[in-house]
Structure 1
């Protein structure tokens, strides 16, 4: 396993994440417009991207694990590209690996921020829908006490209820 194959895999991940970021930006617009059909289609496309990214990520993990084992490094957790950089700096050029890793980390930060924004927008839309629905629902009538003659004489509906009929 060489650094070049790991770099190529990271570049594939970078390309897929860029595409996913474009989808997240488009999702923001569809949320703003309230276009549920386009949003639904975009989410399906997004799920396909995530599945492809997951496959490439598994390949990356295998490559990094193989590289570190070949260098005699004992693995305890999921191996990272940072570990490869540390090990490889002494014997191989790692500029390309460092550069693609930095670009990928930056891209993931942007993607996270965009997804957080989309999530907040969807939650706000749901709150507005709930408020609208609450306003449209008929409200239960509350009984008013005005101490008219019926309450005083014990003839009101409230006075006829037993203690067990009241709800807590």
Structure 2
């Protein structure tokens, strides 16, 4: 077996991650515009992409397992592209490494964009909470204060029992 099925799944994973990156970029603009309905639709699209990525990654894992079994090598517990790189020789090694590097680059860009979206969402939430705190009336404390429990100092000096009466 050649590494062609593995390269095909890596290329598919790269395309899916780049598409997910486009969604993440669009999410950034929707967050900035405060477009909640558009953001909701993007989240649904993102879920579909994640499901496709999981399915493609399983296909990649199966292709790696097939390669190992056909070569009579022990199959690693969690077969990865690094495992395949260890057993391949030129020119397949170079092609596989380039595909892996492209995928990792797309993943790192996606991670950076998602971190930005998370920070923007957190700032928006802070702004909403600040606005609500400014509008919302302050509630009086329902607990007793120390002064109310101990009473006034003036009343302590007065006797509660009048012996001359």
Structure 1 length as normaliser, TM-score?
Answer: 0.80
Rounded Cα–Cα distance in structure 2 between residues aligned with 1:75 and 1:117:
38
Name segments (4+ residues, structure 1) moved above 6 Å.
Answer: none
1:96 correspondence with 2:95: yes
Q: 1:64 and 1:75 mapped to 2: Cα distance? A: 9
- C-alpha distance in structure 1 between counterparts of 2:11 and 2:95, whole Å: 10
SS of alignment partner, residue 94 of structure 1: helix
Distance of 2:32 and 2:129 partners within structure 1: 18
Which range moves more in the overlay, 41-50 or 134-143? 134-143
Using the alignment, how far apart are the partners of 2:83 and 2:73 within structure 1? 10
Q: CA deviation at 1:93?
A: 2.6
Task: Flag structure 2 segments of 5+ consecutive residues without an equivalent.
Answer: 146-151, 156-165
Deviation at 1:119, TM superposition (A): 0.7
Residue of structure 2 equivalent to 1:157: none
Q: What residue ranges of structure 1 are gaps of 5+ in the alignment?
A: 145-150, 155-168
Matched residues, number:
150
The one-character-per-residue Cα deviations of 1:114-136 (angstroms, maximum 9, x if unpaired) are 11110111111111111111221
Report the TM-score when normalising by structure 2.
0.82
Moved more, 2-11 or 73-82: 73-82
Residues 88 and 94 of structure 1 are in contact (CA less than 8 Å); yes or no, is this contact kept in structure 2?
yes
CA contact (8 A) 1:3 1:94 kept: no
Alpha-carbon offset, residue 96 of structure 1: 1.8
| CA deviation after TM superposition for structure 1 residue 26, in Å | 0.5
- Alignment of structure 1 residues 1-168 onto 2, 5 Å: 1-89=1-89, 93-141=92-140, 151=152, 154=155
Pairwise CA distance, 1:28: 0.5
